[in-house]
Amino acid sequence: MSTWQAAFQFDSLVWDWIIAVYLFLAGMSAGAVMIAIYLKRKVIEGDPAENGIMKAMAWLAPFGIVVGLLILIFHLTKPLSFWKIMIYYNPTSVMSMGVILFQAYLVVLFVWIGIIFRKTIMRFLSGRFDFVDGWLKTFGRFENAIELTLGVMAVVLAAYTGFLLSALKTYPMLNNPVLPILFLFSSLSSGAAACLLFGIIGFKESPTSPSVGWVHKFERPVVLFELFVLVTFFTGLIFSGGQSEASAWFALTGEFWSSWFWWGVVIFGMLTPLALNAFSPKALRHSPLFIVVVTSLSLLGVLMLRTFVLYAGQMTVV
Amino acid sequence: MSCSRRNFLTGAGAVIVTTGVAGTAVVSGKSLAYTMEDGQKRYGMVYDETSCIGCTACMDACREVNNVPEGVARLEITRSEAKGEFPNVDYQFNRVSCQHCENAPCVYVCPTGASYKDPETGIVDVHSDKCVGCGYCLAACPYQVRFFHPETKSADKCNFCRDTNLAAGKLPACVESCPTKALTFGDLNDPSSDINKVLATKPVYRDKVHLGTKPKLYKVPHEKGEVKS
Amino acid sequence: MGNIKLTIAVMLKSLLVLCLYGFSFNVAADASEQVVKEADTARHQVSLIRDPDYKCTQCHKDAKQTLFGSHGEDAQASIGREVNCTECHSGISPDHREGAPEVIKYSAAQSQPGSAKQLLSHSQILSANSQCTDCHQPQYLQEDSWTHDVHAQNLTCSNCHVVHGEKQGVLNLERKDKIKLCVDCHSDVTQLKMKKSEDD
């Protein structure tokens, strides 16, 4: 078996790369929502529906969550039974509680986007389904409560993906209290990168606008803190000894996954965007190509982080 | 920090609504994942490594009685490396099958409640109609004894022949088929049962006890070498 | 002067005669050595004037043929000769002309069904099996099946293997039947053990 094959196919593997993609999409959606809520409340002046970042989020957040869930449904061994997971629940199961959260999050997200983009939506519908306007106006009266609820739910959702994996006693690298925090911060960084990429390139938001400026400023401490959380994560594992320590050393120094981690996740996914954002000349910083490169590196880095955690985590069994 | 009272209260309400529902459900009510010790049976098994000859008759019996397809197994007997020189070569055998934990991780994590513990017998089983095939229980089981049944697509594992032999009043297929009587099955709650007799007279260990799963598959350790639990 | 010539001639001739005489001794000696050697080897060389398995096969008529089923061309190629009866059935004893009653036999007594088994001691079994393991070495047996290791001191090879036959005994069995072989014998052994512990 080649190294590549051995890294992706092994006996103790249960959840494969499809789950990694879902983790990435769910995290990106939650991160984009958290950033958009802050922008709307504190940074944007005027109609948020005009803001490129908000428009980007309006597509990214639902897309991320819906596609993520669709991927999950088709990953089930009994995809046609997926509805059972929506009506049966188990309060001790992180996944069950997550599914309830997802369902509520989807509803609140769509309502919130509907409230913000009511005029745009009505223009798109051009005369049909007039009752939607009435509904959105009614919901609009509770905009503040909806926004804050959505914000809390987005935070919980971002951390949920970490809690889901950390409930697995089988894999000492995943069975870790730091994992939810790591996933929360990587959600924020992927949400920020996605918002910037689609907001500036897709929705023509000016790179010098206050929103973009704020997201840039926000990104740096997030990525720095994410690096710190990574250090905490692995240090904690090593200090735990036994299989936990073995799993950490394997992930950091073993064949294949260590290269994936150091080159893909850390160097190209975190340090390079940080450096490019900090040290590039001002003129370059606002060029579209530069923005595409830097945000794509960030996004790829987060996807690689999720894949790394999932695969390297499942390689060592307690 | 500018946070109006209205915002604060709304935010607090949102947190309570989001987390409180799940929290109350967890704290209140006796989760079936915990042991029912009063008057119910708690079925367990002892696997005697000193008696096992590694013939794998139990594997075949399990496959036949429970219609387990080829390619997956509810029960496996593994063999160690050869230790010693001819003619004094020693092999150690190990049984890999569901431990029917009292604190079963698979029951905790199942999102639909398909994985459950039968309160009357303490046997951990699967409602295959409720199972959607998410694989969480396969990942959550630290003993790695669960698999997806190729035909029903549901999660599957040893269930002490609950719906086959036990339902017919017999002992589990593996216990019946063992030529050296290396397997003892019985009710741990019954002081006079065979299993309790064995547990009282022989040294036993269980796998991965430090995880807190409280497994019910006991093993009499091989007479030579280190006991690896 | 004439006498000297004569004397010299006589001396030379007698020298020649002496030489010839001495030389002839040499020749005779060589010849007689050869003669002596030939006589020695002729005396010690035993040429087989009959088949060593002949007497056995007078009664055990098909034993040689059945043996070729398991120890046939491949075995003969690797050891350079046929496998003879007495190589395994040794212990012929001085009574071999009376049908060799003391010859070593290999009964599958231990694996016969039913609890009554003729259980031999470890050393007896090892010495019986040594006839086989001299050629069938333990490390190759281990590669073929681990079950050889655990039965090395407990069972004679003939309990599972049929030497007088082609691909018989355990070699002929499918996996399920092989397991049945283990189960049948070990059930008896377990019963014996349980009876013994009850008697104690």
pLDDT tens string C89-116: 877 778 777 777 777 777 765 655 566 6
What integer pLDDT is reported at residue A308 of this predicted model?
Answer: 97
- CATH code, B139: 3.30.70.20
Name A5's Cβ contacts closer than 8 Å, sequence gap at least 6.
none
Nearest CA in chain B to C182: B55
Q: Given CB atoms, is C138 within the 8 Å cutoff of chain B?
A: yes
Rounded CA-CA distance A72/A314 in Å is 19
Q: Which whole number is the average pLDDT over A274-284?
A: 88
Residues of B engaging A, defined by a Cβ cutoff of 8 Å: 6-7, 10-11, 13-15, 17-19, 21-22, 25-26, 31, 33, 105, 107-114, 130-136, 138-142, 144, 148, 153-154, 208, 211, 213
The answer to whether B100 and B217 have CB atoms below 8 angstroms apart is: yes
Rounded CA-CA distance C135/C153 in Å is 17
Residue C17 lies in a domain: no
CB hemisphere CA count around A146 (13 angstroms): 19
Residue B79 lies in a domain: yes
Residue B60 lies in a domain: yes
Q: Is the ipTM of this complex over 0.90?
A: yes
Q: Is C136 helix (H, G, I), strand (E, B) or coil?
A: coil
What integer pLDDT is reported at residue C91 of this predicted model?
Answer: 77
Report the C-alpha dihedral over residues A263, A265, A266, A270, rounded to 10 degrees: 130
Please give the structure tokens belonging to residue A250: 């394997």
Position A38 pLDDT exceeds 80: yes
Nearest CA in chain C to B82: C146
Point out the least confidently predicted range of B193-202, C54-63, C175-184. C54-63
Q: Where is pLDDT greater, at B78 or A131?
A: B78
Closest CA to A215 of A282, A271, A293, A295: A295
Candidate CATH numbers 3.30.360.10, 1.20.1630.10, 1.10.3680.10, 3.10.20.30; the one for domain A3-315: 1.20.1630.10
* pTM for the structure as a whole: 0.84
Rounded CA-CA distance C166/A86 in Å is 64
Tell me how many degrees the CA angle C99-C101-C103 measures, rounded to the nearest 5.
Answer: 105
Position B31 pLDDT exceeds 50: no
Cross-chain residue pair B91–C150, CB shorter than 8 Å: yes
Split at pLDDT 50, 70, 90, the class of C161 is: confident
Q: Where is pLDDT greater, at A289 or C119?
A: A289
Rounded CA-CA distance B98/B74 in Å is 8
Q: Which whole number is the average pLDDT over B181-194?
A: 95
* A128 CB neighbour count, 10 Å cutoff: 8
Rounded CA-CA distance A142/A145 in Å is 5
Question: Domain total for chain C?
Answer: 1
Q: Phi first, then psi: what are they for A46, rounded to 5°?
A: 95, -160
The range of the structural domain enclosing residue B56 comes to 31-220
Cross-chain residue pair C190–B179, CB shorter than 8 Å: yes
Rounded CA-CA distance A276/A288 in Å is 14
- Shortest CA gap A273–chain B (Å): 31
Q: Given CB atoms, is C187 within the 8 Å cutoff of chain B?
A: yes
Question: Domain total for chain B?
Answer: 1
Bridge partners of residue B187, in order along the sequence: B43
Residue B15 lies in a domain: no
Residues of A in contact with B136 (CB under 8 A): 93, 95
Q: Which of B21, B33, B153 has the CB atom closest to A77's CB atom?
A: B153
Rounded CA-CA distance A130/B182 in Å is 75
Distance of CA A28 to CAs A67, C144, C159, Å? 12, 56, 69
Residue C59 lies in a domain: yes
The range of the structural domain enclosing residue C116 comes to 54-199
Point out the least confidently predicted range of A111-120, B77-86, B87-96, C168-177. C168-177
What integer pLDDT is reported at residue B25 of this predicted model?
Answer: 55
Q: How many residues does chain A have?
A: 318
Question: Strands B217-220, B43-48: parallel, antiparallel or unpaired by DSSP?
Answer: parallel
Closest CA to B87 of C40, A239, C128: C128
Residue B6 lies in a domain: no
Show me where the domains of chain A are located.
3-315
